[in-house]
């Protein structure tokens, strides 16, 4: 099982991450598609080759072809949107917020899966990429669709642990090269 291999690669000083990884994936209350779409989108967003290599096969096995593609689409479109909207938000000139974005984001309107699932994956990726405006936007859509705060927080927990595991393993790989 790739998850076990990933957990075994986590160094002892990051034991909390090992425990949390097993917990947020193995004991999640999220439905299977929401969980594994979140895992895949976040593994991509983490930019960690090891995390993606280890988690992708299990995500693929737990997702339909449509959900697998949609999770990758969420990671892709949010990689763009998080930079764009975070920058507009951080610029002190409010006029940027009135300008037309002019960027294609058609997948958000037609992701090929339930809109709630795609929004949850987009929110999780936005948490990794640190875009407050996107976090607020996706959280509002989810809440209007009846998604409870616990579900939203569960996706953010998955995102935070996957990101932390990626950072830790990538740092250890660099240090091992010295």
> What are the residue numbers of the active site?
131, 134
CB under 8 Å, gap of 24 or more: what pairs does 133-139 form? 133/85, 133/86, 133/88, 133/89, 134/78, 134/81, 134/82, 134/85, 134/86, 137/85
Largest CA distance in the chain: 51
- Sign of the Cα pseudo-torsion (162, 164, 167, 172, in order): negative
Burial of 6 (0-12, 13-18, 19+ CB in 10 A): buried
First to last CA, the chain: 30
């Amino acid at each position: 099982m790739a998850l076990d291999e990933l957990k075994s690669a986590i160094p002892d000083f990051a034991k909390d991450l090992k425990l949390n990884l097993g917990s947020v994936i193995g004991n999640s209350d999220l439905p299977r598609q929401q969980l594994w779409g979140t895992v895949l989108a976040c593994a991509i967003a983490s930019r960690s080759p090891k995390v993606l290599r280890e988690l992708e096969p299990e995500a693929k096995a737990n997702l339909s072809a449509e959900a697998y593609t949609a999770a990758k689409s969420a990671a892709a479109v949010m990689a763009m949107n998080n930079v764009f909207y975070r920058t507009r938000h951080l610029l002190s000139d409010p006029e940027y917020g009135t300008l037309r974005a002019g960027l294609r984001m058609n997948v958000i309107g037609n992701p090929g899966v339930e809109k709630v699932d795609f929004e949850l994956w987009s929110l999780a990726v936005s948490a990794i990429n640190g875009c407050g405006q996107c976090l607020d936007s996706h959280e509002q859509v989810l809440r209007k669709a009846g998604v409870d705060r616990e579900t939203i927080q569960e996706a953010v927990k998955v995102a935070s642990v996957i990101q932390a595991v990626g950072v830790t393993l990538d740092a250890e790989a660099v240090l091992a090269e010295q």
